Amino acid sequence: MSETMQTNRGVRIAFHLVLIVICLLIILPFLHILALAFNSGKDAATGGIWFWPRAWSLGNFAEVFKQHNLLTGLGISLFRTILGTVLGVFLMCMCAWALSIPGLPFSGPITFFIFFTLLFSGGTIPYYLVLSELKLTNSIWVYVLPNLYSVTNILLLRSSFKQLPMSIIEAARIDGMGEFKIFTNIVLPMSKPTIATVSLFTAVGHWNDWFAGSFYVRKAELKPLATILQEMLTRQANLADVLLKAGSGSAAYQQLDAVELTGQSLQMATIIVVILPIVILYPFIQKYFVKGITIGSVKE
């Protein structure tokens, strides 16, 4: 008995050590990002910054918030994230619920067709031509309409809906409740964990997407926050090369030495600004996250 208790204790200690290592692997890189973000960019360029700023400075964040179209980009990001998440999740739930209904004609081929689009892509140029033909390029709707559906999320929702007790659904039908009312009053409330998880995935995808604003939109007033910050980082990363190419004398090096911001420190400050809304939002839906991911993976 004592040997068994010692074995169990050793297993628990090993398990906790593994958890500590995993936590450190997650926390330490984030602390490194914070240290560089709050450190003077010029000082950070010399290296040696790990988990604590050596020369405290808010200059990196001041540069981020100094962008003239930052508020406009924030409004675009909020618009696409809120509308794209609400509308996209609702439509994906409708699609997933329809595919999960037993006896739906051609549900198998339709599911395969949807899954097939996950395996193959037409490519960037054909995709751009389609968007251009639909008059979506250089429009705010290019952020919302093409991203209303996600095959992965549809399959996740479909798996979750299949776990719902069909006896409740059948009883509602017998009582005369319509399909749409069953969907909104029974299916959606019973699937909150999965819907919260899919909503998080969708919102993060919209908020972090800089590609669409960079390649499909030319108007500066229609660029989202992520695109604006990405373009700022590109300009800052090229600043040193431009100064050095301007001349080989001491004047160019004096100009370079006068630069207080560097690409690395500015990049870390940008990361903090971009992920901060998601970090604030996550604790409110964290309780649904694990359940929403694992639901449907094991059947009784």
Neighbours of 246 (CB within 10 A): 12
> What per-residue confidence (pLDDT) applies to 206?
92
Confidence check: pLDDT of 255 > 50: no
Residue carrying structure tokens 């910050």: 229
* Crossing angle of the two packed helices 225-245 and 70-100, in degrees rounded to 10: 130
Rounded distance between C-alpha atoms, residue 160 and residue 156, angstroms: 6
More confident: 105 or 18 = 18
- Which pLDDT band holds residue 281 (cuts at 50, 70, 90)? confident
User: How do the domains of the chain map onto residue ranges?
Assistant: 59-294
Give the pLDDT mean for 153-177: 88
- Which pLDDT band holds residue 216 (cuts at 50, 70, 90)? very high
The percent of residues in the chain predicted with pLDDT above 90, rounded, is 19
Contact 172/186 with Cβ under 8 angstroms?
yes
Rounded distance between C-alpha atoms, residue 91 and residue 72, angstroms: 28
Give the pLDDT mean for 148-155: 90
Can you read off the two tokens belonging to residue 294? 């694992």
- Which pLDDT band holds residue 226 (cuts at 50, 70, 90)? confident
- Name the phi and psi angles at 298, rounded to 5: -125, 125
Q: Residue 21 pairs with which residues in a beta bridge? A: none
- Which pLDDT band holds residue 264 (cuts at 50, 70, 90)? confident
Q: What does each C-alpha distance from 61 to 29, 37, 58, 261, 270 come to in angstroms?
A: 19, 8, 5, 10, 8
- Name the phi and psi angles at 210, rounded to 5: -110, -15
Confidence check: pLDDT of 47 > 80: no
Contact 289/199 with Cβ under 8 angstroms?
no
Contact 225/70 with Cβ under 8 angstroms?
yes
Closest CA to 36 of 48, 53, 24, 55: 53
Topology given in CATH for the domain delimited by 59-294: MetI-like fold (1.10.3720)
Can you read off the two tokens belonging to residue 215? 């390649």
Confidence check: pLDDT of 84 > 80: yes
Question: What's the mean per-residue pLDDT of the chain?
Answer: 81
- Which pLDDT band holds residue 164 (cuts at 50, 70, 90)? confident
Rounded distance between C-alpha atoms, residue 232 and residue 120, angstroms: 33
Lowest mean pLDDT among 1-5, 59-63, 138-142, 223-227: 1-5
Q: What's the whole-model pTM score?
A: 0.76
Confidence check: pLDDT of 165 > 90: no
Cα torsion through 75, 78, 80, 83, rounded to 10: -120
Rounded distance between C-alpha atoms, residue 171 and residue 185, angstroms: 13
Confidence check: pLDDT of 247 > 70: no
Neighbours of 94 (CB within 10 A): 17
Write the CB contacts of 88 (distance below 8 Å, at least 6 apart in sequence). 144, 147, 148, 149, 150, 202
> What per-residue confidence (pLDDT) applies to 91?
94
More confident: 238 or 199 = 199
Q: Tell me the CA end-to-end span of the chain in Å, nearest whole number.
A: 34
Lowest mean pLDDT among 20-24, 30-34, 103-107: 103-107
Report, in angstroms and rounded to the nearest whole number, the Rg of the chain calculated over CA atoms: 25
Identify the top-confidence range among 49-58, 71-80, 254-263.
71-80
Write the CB contacts of 266 (distance below 8 Å, at least 6 apart in sequence). 41, 60, 63, 64, 232, 233, 236
Give the pLDDT mean for 19-29: 88
Rounded distance between C-alpha atoms, residue 157 and residue 165, angstroms: 15
More confident: 237 or 300 = 237
